[in-house]
Structure 1
Amino acid sequence: MNPVQPTTTAERPRRGERIMAAINRDPLTAPHRTRNDALLAAGVAALATVIALLGDGERVPGALGWVLLLAAHVPLVWRRTRPVLVLAAVAACVAPFHALDYNHIAPTPAAYIALYTVAVTGRPLRTVLTGIIVLTVSMSVMLTVDTHRAFELLRVSGWVIAVLFFGVDVRYYRQYVAGIVERAVRAERTREEEARRRVAEERLRIARDLHDLLAHTITLIGVQTSVAAHVLAADPDRLDRAAVAKALDDIAETCRTARGELRTTLEVLRDPGSPDTRDPLPGLHGLPDLAQTARAAGAEVDLAVTADGVPPAVGAAVYRIVQEALTNAVRHGGRDDLSIRVSVAAHDGALQVRVIDDGTGAGAGTPGFGLAGMRERVRSVGGTLDAGALPHQGFEVSAVLPLEATR
């Protein structure tokens, strides 16, 4: 019987975190805002009722006063969606309440909440104009009631200004927090895009390596197998055992080399998190081996290299370009006496690579991934590549790779 696994629940945020989340939340998009504002309006209305009943030395509102006092709290339910209209509605109820000389403290919380909402949801200019209008209207109403109370209102008008400035400060603080969050999200998105780009580049690099390896190896094995078959079928009575043995040894050596490179590539694919432990690609020093392999396949190869101190990235690109060009020439040359000329020379801060053959079909057939892979490798080091059939016969691959920018 399997033991019951304990269930884990997400840890609830602490009270302080919930309070800060509520403060940082945009009031115009906060969830359940209408419900919360309705509860707020009811609570503030209850507070205003208590203040009106227990006010020391203040007149208790009559029937009209109670209607105006309670009606002033109803618009607060929609204070976030229509803050200016809510403030106007609250003022329309509070102004006659003050004019009737009832308890002047009772409607103050509702007025302050409406003022704060205007400040926290609007632009500073609108907030300043709202403050001026509110103070002007309040002074005008109080002057008609009692001059002494009007000057008292002027003395406590600092609270109105404080509420407005507090709302502006909260608005700027929320914008600041929103900017931080937006930058964090943008940075995270950038990191994800960079990770995807690196994965795509790595997949492309592995695809190029596999193509170069398998195309080169399969072509050589095919040519060497044809040589062995030709020797066996040419003159069975005078079998050249040494030639057959050499062809088979060449096939075995080619298979061993390809198997080693393929194994290291597959190890990287099996464990993407492990570092790439493959040996670096040969540079210019590997070109003689490529030429020798093409000669073993029956081609005559003339190799000329007049460059030294080449950066590893450029050297690896040259190696792959020459490898792919030799493979295509041997595969599509179409003649037994195929001649290939390979030249690598440094000139004016760039490395010029040319591979020319005199075959009859190097550019024929359906285009594969070889030329595309060569162009990608050339672009990776900031170079250019041209490839095409020659006017009369043969095929040429020409590349120019800068040296200075890759050092």
Structure 2
Amino acid sequence: MEEEHGGGPSHWWRYGPPWWNRPGDPEVHRARLPWRSTAFLTAFVLIGTHFAAHDQQHRVQLDGYGRALLLIASVLLLWRHRRPVPVAFGTATTVLLYLVLGYPYGPVLLTVAVACFSALVAGHRRAAWAAIGLLWAGHALVALWLYRRLPPAGDESAGLTQEIVIATWVLAVVALAELARVRREQWARERADRAQAARRRADEERLRIARELHDVLAHSISVINVQASMGLTLLDSDPEQARAALTTIKAASKEALGEVRQVLATLRAPGAAPRAPAPGLDRLPELVEQAAAAGLTVEIEGGPPQLPPGADLAAFRIVQEALTNVVRHSGSRHARVRFAHDGGALRLRIDDDGPATGADAGGSGNGLVGMRERAAALGGTIDAGPRPDGGFRVLAVLPTHLREDQ
């Protein structure tokens, strides 16, 4: 039974008797009553006032009514988190009535300080100031003007200096509570900013993984689809050519599985370094061979430059996605990849002569979006669209010198 309710009896009594709140109720769990602190404050107020009364013989003797007022002011603090405004006014009114009846001074004022402190921290500034102002104004009125008509008999005026000292202490308590409120709001903003930054990083990581999976699977499955169609066509008439197509399918699927495993390994072990290096333009000959196996001849113009790892991966994926789109969406069996340097940028151009074989010439949706996201993440641009003389062109401009934070 102790484990079922999240702990033993000591855990329950921390917030009051087990029959007061239902264990396991999420609404109750979020707003439990502060039993321990309130019990301590109640004992401190009752005992402290009892001893303080011995040195205040001129005040009304502490009797049952006075102790009841002390108890009410203290017990109200149980609800200072749930109902901070009523508790602030309730304690202020109770303490003011206690002082009007002439009972001894003591730590009873601590109940008002705690209640108004809680109200201020919770954001109820006007209510807290009003409750403290009510208590101070009422006490000043009694101590300066009404003391002759109220108990105890023969009481004297407190003097303006004493009221100024009391007001100073009140302002000190309020200032401390305001400082606590500001710090609490600052901590809440910092927590919200950290949570938002964590969500943003998670979203960026999901987008990166989605781009990687799309680029790997779209390219490999396109090659497999072309080779499977070719193998089925030549299975009876040219078994050797069909065997070659099946060999290409095996190699393409093996490579795709390896890259997918690498991406999934990153998901299973967050923060772990990848076991294999990220692909780059050094694998361009391999990409050309895969395109050739799919029936596409690729002509390379210019040499791939040395790029930072992020730009190298982006350039490779852009070429891979562009050639995949040629295989899937173009009737042309010839493509040209051209590398050129323009200041501190790499101009990467992929052309095919068309015509388009469907409505999605040059590809659509995730492929082009992924290319643009890769380029934008590096501070580059992508321009993709039909050429005036037919065919399709992808032009990427990527910076060759990246900032350290990229």
TM-score (norm: length of structure 2): 0.68
Q: Determine helix, strand or coil for the equivalent of 1:345.
A: strand
Q: Which residue of 2 aligns with 1:194?
A: 197
How far apart in 1 are the matches of 2:248 and 2:387?
Answer: 32
Give yes or no for the alignment of 1:367 onto 2:364. Answer: yes
Contact 1:351 1:403 in 2 (8 A): yes
Contact 2:380 2:397 in 1 (8 A): yes
Q: Deviations over 1:241-265 (max 9, x none)?
A: 4322221111101111111222232
Q: Which residue of 1 aligns with 2:25?
A: none
Return the letter of the residue paired with 2:91. N
Give yes or no for the alignment of 1:327 onto 2:324. Answer: yes
Give yes or no for the alignment of 1:159 onto 2:162. Answer: yes
Aligned Cα root-mean-square deviation (Å): 3.4
Q: Report the alpha carbon displacement of residue 307 of structure 1 after superposing the two structures with TM.
A: 4.5
Q: Report the alpha carbon displacement of residue 41 of structure 1 after superposing the two structures with TM.
A: 2.9
Q: Determine helix, strand or coil for the equivalent of 2:235.
A: helix
Q: Which residue of 2 aligns with 1:171?
A: 174
Q: How many residues align?
A: 318
More helix by share: 1
Give yes or no for the alignment of 1:33 onto 2:84. Answer: no
How far apart in 1 are the matches of 2:251 and 2:260?
Answer: 14
CA gap 1:170/1:362 in 2 versus in 1, 3 angstroms: farther
Contact 2:329 2:356 in 1 (8 A): yes
Q: Which residue of 2 aligns with 1:253?
A: 251
CA gap 1:215/1:183 in 2 versus in 1, 3 angstroms: same
CA gap 1:180/1:211 in 2 versus in 1, 3 angstroms: same
Give % identity: 34
Q: Describe how 1:78-117 pairs up with structure 2 within 5 A.
A: 81=130, 94-97=143-146, 103-105=154-156, 108=158
Unaligned runs of 5+ residues in structure 1 are 52-77, 109-152
Q: Which moved more, 1:376-385 or 1:297-306?
A: 297-306
CA gap 1:387/1:287 in 2 versus in 1, 3 angstroms: same
Q: Which residue of 1 aligns with 2:337?
A: 342
Give yes or no for the alignment of 1:227 onto 2:230. Answer: yes
CA gap 1:268/1:17 in 2 versus in 1, 3 angstroms: farther
How far apart in 2 are the matches of 1:287 and 1:354?
Answer: 14
Match of 1:351 among 343, 346, 352: 346
Q: Report the alpha carbon displacement of residue 343 of structure 1 after superposing the two structures with TM.
A: 1.4
How far apart in 2 are the matches of 1:187 and 1:17?
Answer: 33
Contact 1:332 1:362 in 2 (8 A): yes
Larger radius of gyration: 1
Q: Which residue of 2 aligns with 1:55?
A: none
Contact 1:351 1:400 in 2 (8 A): yes
Match of 1:279 among 276, 279, 286: 276
Q: Deviations over 1:181-211 (max 9, x none)?
A: 1111111111110111111111111111111
Q: Report the alpha carbon displacement of residue 17 of structure 1 after superposing the two structures with TM.
A: 12
Q: Describe how 1:118-133 pairs up with structure 2 within 5 A.
A: none
Give yes or no for the alignment of 1:391 onto 2:388. Answer: yes
CA gap 1:224/1:200 in 2 versus in 1, 3 angstroms: same
Contact 2:92 2:131 in 1 (8 A): no
How far apart in 2 are the matches of 1:50 and 1:391?
Answer: 97
Q: Which residue of 1 aligns with 2:219?
A: 216
Q: Determine helix, strand or coil for the equivalent of 1:248.
A: helix
How far apart in 2 are the matches of 1:79 and 1:406?
Answer: 52
CA gap 1:272/1:32 in 2 versus in 1, 3 angstroms: farther
How far apart in 1 are the matches of 2:284 and 2:149?
Answer: 103
Contact 1:290 1:323 in 2 (8 A): yes
Q: Deviations over 1:312-365 (max 9, x none)?
A: 000000011000000000111224xx2110012332001111000112117832
CA gap 1:178/1:377 in 2 versus in 1, 3 angstroms: same
